[in-house]
Amino acid sequence: MNILDIIAKKRDKQELTEEEIKYFIDGYTKNDITDYQAAALIMAIFLNGMTDRETTDLTLAMSCSGETLDMSTLGEVIVDKHSTGGVGDKVSLILLPLISSLGVPVAKMSGRGLGFTGGTIDKLESIPGYRTAISMEQFIKNVKEIGISIISQTQNLAPADKKLYALRDAISCVENIPLIASSIMSKKIASGAQKIVLDVTVGKGAFMSNIGDARKLANTMIKIGKLANRETVCVLTNMDEPLGFAVGNSLEVIEAVKCLKGDMPEDLKEVILALGSQMLLLAGKGENLDENKNKLLENIENGKAYNKFIELVQRHGGDISYIEKLDKLPKAKYIEPIYSQTSGYIHDINAKEIGRLAGMLGAGREKKEDEIDPAVGVVLTKKIADKIERGDVLAYIHSNDMQKLEEAKKYFVQIVKIKEEKIEKPNIILEIKDLGTAP
Ligand code: URA
C-alpha cells in the first residue's frame, strides 16, 4: 500500500477501504506521511466526500492513534459535551462547572480556536496560572476528587486528530461533514466519554451554514456514536449572531463568570439549559427535561456552580483573585465605543465577520504558531431584533493597537445591519436529535 495510490483513489472519487484509512492515519501520526501528502488527501476528501462507512473508519482509526482513556474506574457515567464551533461560545465555561455541581463528573478535553471560531482552552489560559496541559493521572485525579477537570487535548490522545485539526485550519478544509464528525467523535471516544451531548451550531458563525447540513452532521455523529456504543444526542443551535455579548478570550471569561453568578444573556441561557438538561438525562440524573432545567437554574442561584468554577480554576493552578475581581484580568489599552449612525432595528450581526474582526485584533491565530492576545475582542451591547436609536452604543472594541482599532471600527460598522422594519428575535434552539429521531 502507498499514500500516492490512496490520494489518487480519493482524487478519483473512489471509496477508501478500512485498511487504506488506517494506513493513512498510522503513517501521518508517525510522520511517515508528510504534511503535503496529508493536505492533498484531506482536500480530496473535502471535495469528494466520504461514505458513512469511511467516516466511521476514519473516526475509529483516529480515536486509537494514541492512548485511550478508560474512565470506567471512576464508577460513574461520564457524559461529555462538545460544540462544533462558534463565535462567543463560552458555553463550556459555564455549563461544565454547573453540571459538575449537580454531581455529574466532568472530564473534558477542549480545543483551541479554529478558523474564525474561539476555543475553550484559549479562554481558560487567559486566567493567569491556569494549566491546561497536565498529566492524565492528574486529570483523572481531579475528576475523582473535585468532580471536574478541563484540559487541552494531550499529544497522546487522538494525536492524528490533533495534527489533522491544525492542518485543516491551515488549508481551508474545516467546513466538511466527515472531517468534523470524525474529529469530534474520535476525541470523545478516545477520552473515555460514555455518553455525549453535542452542540451542533448552525448559521453564519458556524461551520454548517444551513440546517440541512447541520442535520446531516448530527446524524453522522449519532450513527458513529451508535457504532462505538456511545449514546449521542445533538442539539442544533442558532449561530447567526455571536452567542451572548462578548467575543474574545478574557472578555468571554468575564461574561462566563457573570453568567455563573446569575447574570445570563437570554440566548446563552437557552443553550445552557437545553444542553444541560440533556446531559442530566443521559447521566441518569432526571428523566424530565423541564425539571432538569430547574435544577440547573437552582445551582446558579445558590452559588454552587460558581463555587465549582472557582474550585476548577484553583485545582488547575489558576489565580482565583482574577475571577473574584474580574477587572484584574488582562485588559486592552484602548476600549472604544461604536455609535450607531441610524435608528431602527438590528437585522444582522454576522457572527463569522465578528469572529474575523476579533481575530484581526489578535484574539485568534492566522498560523498555528501565532500567539493570541487574551485581552482583545468585541463586546456587543445589542442583539438581533433590538431597537436602536441613532447615537446609541452598538459595541465596544477592545484593542492593544491603535491602527487595528481604527480598522476594526470601520469593519464593525459594515457588519451590523440596521433597518426600519421590526423583526422577531431568532429561535436559538432549532432541533434536538437522538437515536430515535436520526435516520
Ligand atoms: N471541533 C472539533 O473538535 N473538530 C472540528 O473539526 C470542528 C470543531
> Which set of grid coordinates corresponds to residue 279?
446531559
Domain assignment present for 427? no
Our mutation pick for probing the ligand 1 site, out of 183, 200, 207, counting the most ligand atoms within 8 A of Cβ, is: 183
Q: Are 18 and 116 in a shared domain?
A: no
Q: Are 232 and 257 in a shared domain?
A: yes
Q: Are 220 and 287 in a shared domain?
A: yes
Ligand 1, closest atom to CA 165? 6
Q: What is the structure's pLDDT at 368?
A: 67
For the chain, 439 residues long, the average pLDDT of each consecutive 10-residue run is 97 98 97 97 98 95 92 84 94 98 93 80 95 91 95 86 90 94 95 94 95 97 93 98 97 98 97 98 96 98 98 97 95 97 97 96 81 94 97 98 97 97 97 83
Q: How far is the CA of 436 from the centre of ligand 1 (A)?
A: 24
**386: containing domain:** 331-419
Is the sign of the CA dihedral 92, 96, 97, 99 positive or negative?
positive
Q: Are 135 and 47 in a shared domain?
A: no
- Catalytic one among 22, 81, 82, 163? 82
CA–CA dist 170, 140 (Å, integer): 32
Q: How far is the CA of 184 from the centre of ligand 1 (A)?
A: 5
Ligand 1: residue whose CA is nearest its atom 6: 180
| 429 burial level (CB within 10 Å; 0-12, 13-18, 19+) | middle
Q: Are 170 and 301 in a shared domain?
A: yes
Domain assignment present for 424? no
Q: Are 186 and 201 in a shared domain?
A: yes
Q: How far is the CA of 159 from the centre of ligand 1 (A)?
A: 14
| CATH assignment of the domain containing 147 | 3.40.1030.10
Domain assignment present for 433? no
Ligand 1, closest atom to CA 117? 8
Name the helix (H) or strand (E) containing 224: helix 211-227
| CATH assignment of the domain containing 27 | 1.20.970.10
CA–CA dist 248, 255 (Å, integer): 10
> In the chain, what's the furthest Cα-to-Cα distance?
66
Q: Are 186 and 304 in a shared domain?
A: yes
- The question of whether 53 is a catalytic residue gets the answer no
- The question of whether 187 is a catalytic residue gets the answer yes
Q: Are 36 and 98 in a shared domain?
A: no
Q: Is the CB of 181 under 6 A from ligand 1?
A: no
Domain assignment present for 282? yes
Q: What's the number of domains the chain is made of?
A: 3
Q: Are 137 and 218 in a shared domain?
A: yes
| Domain end marker among 13, 31, 63 | 63
Domain assignment present for 434? no
* pTM, entire model: 0.94
Domain assignment present for 438? no
Q: Is the CB of 250 under 6 A from ligand 1?
A: no
Give how far Cα 238 sits from Cα of 27, 71, 203, 241, 291, Å. Answer: 38, 32, 6, 8, 24
Q: Are 105 and 54 in a shared domain?
A: no
- The question of whether 161 is a catalytic residue gets the answer yes
Q: How far is the CA of 87 from the centre of ligand 1 (A)?
A: 14
Beta-carbon contacts of 299 under 8 Å, excluding residues fewer than 6 positions away, are: 98, 101, 102, 305
Q: What is the structure's pLDDT at 19?
A: 97
Helices (H), 247-303: 249-260, 266-282, 289-301
Domain assignment present for 409? yes
Q: How far is the CA of 175 from the centre of ligand 1 (A)?
A: 9
| Domain end marker among 324, 355, 373 | 324
Q: Is the CB of 183 under 6 A from ligand 1?
A: yes
Nearest CA to 248 out of 380, 368, 97 is that of 380
CA–CA dist 249, 204 (Å, integer): 20
Domain assignment present for 356? yes
CA–CA dist 273, 360 (Å, integer): 32
Q: Are 81 and 218 in a shared domain?
A: yes
Strand-strand pairing, 393-399 and 377-380: antiparallel
Q: Are 47 and 133 in a shared domain?
A: no
